[in-house]
Structure 1
């Protein structure tokens, strides 16, 4: 799984109301002619991004954006076109704002009580502003393309363009927060850690200008469960009830088509070439892991185990022998 949080432009962010704004319209309440004007630009932008056409993207930028955009744009657009190839997009939300002055803060509020409600803050450089949240049509994970246009004379130009992870397996950060809370209530501490870790990966799909109403709750819960897990399980954690003394050094959520499943990485004193002994040890590891990290195997379609002879340091290639437990059946694969 590759996390992306791609921010092209950093703007001044204001936590305030829309002073100087004469009105904000959202989605169906926006005049049809304005929506059509912006759709033409959205189509051009999306086509340029998906074809990795940097000049085509820049052609839609305002002069001010062109003066501050840097070489990162090439990498970011390339990442989007490679990781989220699509021929179409959907619109999550769109907003039109009419201001009585320029260089003022605008605040867009999707709602206040829904799980996925959010706030967007930006500096309005124009009297007329139009914000669109686009998502390439994908099967599993959704990226969010946040486009904020300003009207210069009779032309709309992009003032702000941002990319970020909106969903993983079609669930948002607040969705994973809810799963983490449910796991925590059941006493499944490691599951709670895994779910809240995934939540953090898609918590800011448009940088600092986008905030979920529940962002502080999510961050507080993240700190809470990680603190409890670190206090309870100091890694590497030796499974003392197994004579070979394997040491668990990492547990993380692995993405599968059925959802995020736990992967347990441990250092074994048994040589990876001795697959018979390694498999016998893994049978014991599964039992001890289920007892030690309560709930880790509950309601799962798979649990992954990676046996190593040395702990990876991120600098050199380290071999592992991977066990995949599937519905009480087991497959094993030797990988690097």
Structure 2
């Protein structure tokens, strides 16, 4: 979700008039305190759905940009804005005395795996930018704000809400996990890792770009080609008596984590739940032979069975879940030493959610 002024901007502030960028502890404490106070107000107003107070913080350009749907966006916001769970990732104070029509880049860090670039067009001489997130399970959502100084007042120019982490890992963490699984031949796991990675690549829209973005995209292309060659869906398991046909592997969102989600077609009637459960047991027992590494390290595998490949969301189905193969590491951060992950030769709509019934 993005509420931003037409010109956009991602930056921060300083009392001097010499161009420069100050990051985190480099920022004057009083300036940093101002930024944090502004963010506290934004979070409080969104939590209370107080759109009038929130709009009072907007710059004129942002007010002109949000449009008539702004109030309903705030009222329908599903991200839990809990101030006690808010964590600051990085803060910037930027003074830019150059032409306001030109693009300006700010690099965050040098030589760190998680480095990123902020790209914006300056709107004011002084700008404050904050990248923070709300710690959650299994997702953590980012809140990116940018304030410009107009006369003696700070006004909100940009507010972005985006997905930053899944199970404690950001896009770079999931990239490394996908690369590790790919190199180990766990193609299904690597594909689901990348499904999550892709959802995390733009936590602040087009304003933030990870330095490893090109490497992420290159791995995605290589894996897509490998998946197409290795797994020609639908895949029928002829060693199971009922010959079920797996047509998709995606991700299932449980309250605590994401798990592999196997969708298949059966010849059994959906009313015979006993027979369907036995068939699911047989598939689960052979899953690792069909998809290398898929059941390993996951606490659960979820299954959805249809009598035909679904054409829309009204098609009937049954669901089951089975235990994976220990040791269970799936709930650990993506940089955990043990291999594991999530599988996918396809993904659920939106990338990290199971198909809606």
Give secondary structure in 2 for the equivalent of 1:228: helix
CA separation of 1:217 and 1:56: change in aligned 2, threshold 3 A: same
- Using the TM superposition, give the Cα deviation of residue 237 of structure 1 relative to its aligned residue in structure 2, in angstroms: 1.8
CA separation of 1:139 and 1:198: change in aligned 2, threshold 3 A: closer
1:68 alignment counterpart: 65
CA separation of 1:177 and 1:78: change in aligned 2, threshold 3 A: farther
1:32 alignment counterpart: 29
Relative contact order (C-alpha < 8 Å, sep 6+): which is higher? 2
CA separation of 1:124 and 1:155: change in aligned 2, threshold 3 A: same
- Using the TM superposition, give the Cα deviation of residue 100 of structure 1 relative to its aligned residue in structure 2, in angstroms: 1.6
- Using the TM superposition, give the Cα deviation of residue 72 of structure 1 relative to its aligned residue in structure 2, in angstroms: 3.9
Aligned residues: 319
Query: Deviations for 1:163-195, whole angstroms, at most 9, x for unmatched residues?
Result: 100111221111111111111111100000010
CA distance in 2, matches of 1:139, 1:298: 22
Q: How does 1:1-336 map to 2 (within 5 A)?
A: 6-9=1-4, 22-80=19-77, 82-88=78-84, 89-103=86-100, 104-256=102-254, 259-325=257-323
Unaligned runs of 5+ in 2: 10-16, 327-355
Query: Deviations for 1:48-95, whole angstroms, at most 9, x for unmatched residues?
Result: 111122222211111111111123433443454x33141332211110
- Using the TM superposition, give the Cα deviation of residue 113 of structure 1 relative to its aligned residue in structure 2, in angstroms: 2.2
CA contact (8 A) 2:263 2:305 kept: yes
Give secondary structure in 1 for the equivalent of 2:176: helix
CA distance in 1, matches of 2:69, 2:218: 32
Give secondary structure in 2 for the equivalent of 1:244: coil
CA separation of 1:158 and 1:275: change in aligned 2, threshold 3 A: same
- Using the TM superposition, give the Cα deviation of residue 140 of structure 1 relative to its aligned residue in structure 2, in angstroms: 3.6
- Using the TM superposition, give the Cα deviation of residue 259 of structure 1 relative to its aligned residue in structure 2, in angstroms: 4.2
- Using the TM superposition, give the Cα deviation of residue 133 of structure 1 relative to its aligned residue in structure 2, in angstroms: 1.1
Query: Deviations for 1:197-256, whole angstroms, at most 9, x for unmatched residues?
Result: 111111100111110111121122112212211222122222233332211111012234
Give secondary structure in 2 for the equivalent of 1:120: strand
CA RMSD of aligned residues (A): 2.4
CA separation of 1:144 and 1:79: change in aligned 2, threshold 3 A: farther
TM-score by length of 2: 0.82
CA contact (8 A) 1:173 1:200 kept: yes
Give secondary structure in 2 for the equivalent of 1:294: coil
CA contact (8 A) 2:295 2:324 kept: no
2:12 alignment counterpart: none
CA distance in 1, matches of 2:18, 2:292: 53
CA contact (8 A) 2:138 2:258 kept: no
CA distance in 2, matches of 1:243, 1:310: 18
Between 233-242 and 292-301, the greater mean CA deviation after superposition: 233-242
CA contact (8 A) 1:131 1:149 kept: yes
